[in-house]
Amino acid sequence: MFTYVLKRLLYAIPIALSVTVVSFVLVYLAPGDPLNAIAPADAPAEVIEALKSAYGLDRPVPVQYGLWLLRAVQGDLGTSIASGRAVTGEVMSAVSNTLLLAGIAAFGGVLVGCVLGAVAGYRHGTWVDRVATILSVVGVSIPHYWLGLVLTIVFSIWLGWFPAMGAGPGGSSEWLWDAGHFKYLVLPALTLSVIPMGIITRTVRALVSDMLEQEFVVALRARGLSGHAVFRHIAKNTAPTVLAVAGLQIGYLMGGSILVETVFAWPGTGFLLNTAIFQRDIPLLQGTILVLCMFFVVLNLVVDILQPLIDPRMGRG
């Protein structure tokens, strides 16, 4: 077990390092001068030079990368060109909002998906199964930015139950655990939860209906075990796969929330990325991408480490 964890950790390090390289270099693919965002087109050469050295843009790219990485490890992602504020602070408050949204959506989606999938797997070929299958296909096929729009139309324009935009009363972006704020979370979280719901339903349904046909289940039944006890065995056997899929889904949701956040004007990383892209704010863009990807890398690592805890066969390899 210990060597397994160590191996996983060692494997994650080069991946994490490469992610920093990609996040850094990606931005240099862009045509045009990053200084365009702050310097007027007719700025004198001395001003441009001064700005360049202020942002470290006058050094060779590998040196810039090294310095950026060194500071990033210490928690300093530079200064946003557009707003002049520290990138770390901006990214962290946005990431916490995104995590809240993605976490709740993933939790709800996985929960509903497990129940639906298990029921459908048990009742293979019945109308419950058909409904679950249709729901799962819809879940993976629906453009979630459109679903968000439709939910807004139905639940906030026609019915008036939930607010259409924002993350809190009076346009506040600070999250609080109260009913007033919670109302704002319902529609975006519901929108986002549809994707993991579809994928988990599909996975669980296939696993359960496969497993019901296996000999050990027949043997358990022959020994006289109740349906409840047989279900415990099935649940234990499906858990590792479901965990792996669910773990990935949370990561995908952090990326996927970009679109949903735009629909609901949710003050998360999607909003930040949008600002960074359209204002060509390079430090902000690099910082946001880096932090999101690091979350994804860590999440993958956690899933890898958790898996042998549920499924002891895996740790021995």
Partner 1 sequence: MSAFLDIPLPQAAASAPSRSYWHVVWRQLRRDPMALASALVLLLILAAAVFAPWLAPANPYKASMLRRLLPMASEGYLLGTDELGRDMISRLMYGGRISLLMGLVPVLAAFGIGTTIGLLAGYAGGRMNMVIMRVLDVFYAFPSVLLAVAISGALGPGMSNSLIALTLVFLPQVVRVAESVTTQVRQLDYIEAARMSGAGAFSIIRIHVLGNVLGPVFVYATGLLSVSMILASGLSFLGLGVKPPEPEWGLMLNTLRSAIYVNPLVAALPGALIFITSIAFNLLADGVRSAMDIRR
Maximum Cα–Cα distance across the chain: 87
**Rounded distance, CA 164 to CA 12, Å?**
40
Binding of residue 9 to partner 1 (CB under 8 A): no
Q: Which of 1, 61, 67, 138 binds partner 1 (CB under 8 A)?
A: 138
Binding of residue 10 to partner 1 (CB under 8 A): no
**Which segment (179-187, 204-212, 238-246, 276-284) binds partner 1 by CB under 8 A?**
276-284
Binding of residue 15 to partner 1 (CB under 8 A): yes
Q: Which residues contact residue 196 at a Cβ distance below 8 angstroms, ignoring those fewer than 6 apart?
A: 105, 106, 109, 110, 113, 246, 249, 250, 253
Report the first-to-last Cα separation within the chain, whole angstroms: 9
Q: Which residues contact residue 105 at a Cβ distance below 8 angstroms, ignoring those fewer than 6 apart?
A: 188, 189, 190, 191, 192, 193, 196, 253, 257
Binding of residue 176 to partner 1 (CB under 8 A): no
Q: Which of 22, 63, 176, 229 binds partner 1 (CB under 8 A)?
A: 22
Q: Which residues contact residue 192 at a Cβ distance below 8 angstroms, ignoring those fewer than 6 apart?
A: 101, 102, 105, 109, 144, 253, 256, 257, 260
Q: Which of 191, 238, 300, 307 binds partner 1 (CB under 8 A)?
A: 300
102 contacts 253 by C-beta, under 8 angstroms: yes
**Rounded distance, CA 78 to CA 87, Å?**
6
**Rounded distance, CA 175 to CA 191, Å?**
19
Q: Which is nearer to partner 1, 231 or 252 (CB)?
A: 252
Binding of residue 29 to partner 1 (CB under 8 A): yes
Binding of residue 143 to partner 1 (CB under 8 A): yes
Binding of residue 255 to partner 1 (CB under 8 A): yes
**Site size toward partner 1, by CB under 8 A:** 49
Q: Which is nearer to partner 1, 118 or 254 (CB)?
A: 254
Binding of residue 111 to partner 1 (CB under 8 A): no
**Rounded distance, CA 49 to CA 60, Å?**
15
Q: Which is nearer to partner 1, 104 or 273 (CB)?
A: 273
12, 187, 201, 243 from 300: Cα distances, Å? 9, 28, 21, 11
**Which segment (37-45, 84-92, 144-152, 238-246) binds partner 1 by CB under 8 A?**
144-152
**Rounded distance, CA 186 to CA 98, Å?**
14
Smallest distance, partner 1 to C-beta of residue 272, A = 11
Q: Which residues contact residue 87 at a Cβ distance below 8 angstroms, ignoring those fewer than 6 apart?
A: 77, 78, 79, 80, 283, 284, 287, 288
Binding of residue 312 to partner 1 (CB under 8 A): no
Smallest distance, partner 1 to C-beta of residue 271, A = 11
**Which segment (64-72, 75-83, 229-237, 277-285) binds partner 1 by CB under 8 A?**
277-285
Smallest distance, partner 1 to C-beta of residue 251, A = 5
Smallest distance, partner 1 to C-beta of residue 293, A = 6
Binding of residue 26 to partner 1 (CB under 8 A): yes
- Residues binding partner 1 (CB under 8 A): 14-16, 18-19, 22-23, 26-27, 29-32, 137-138, 140-146, 149-150, 152-153, 157-158, 251-252, 254-256, 258-259, 262-263, 273-274, 276-278, 285, 289, 292-293, 296-297, 300
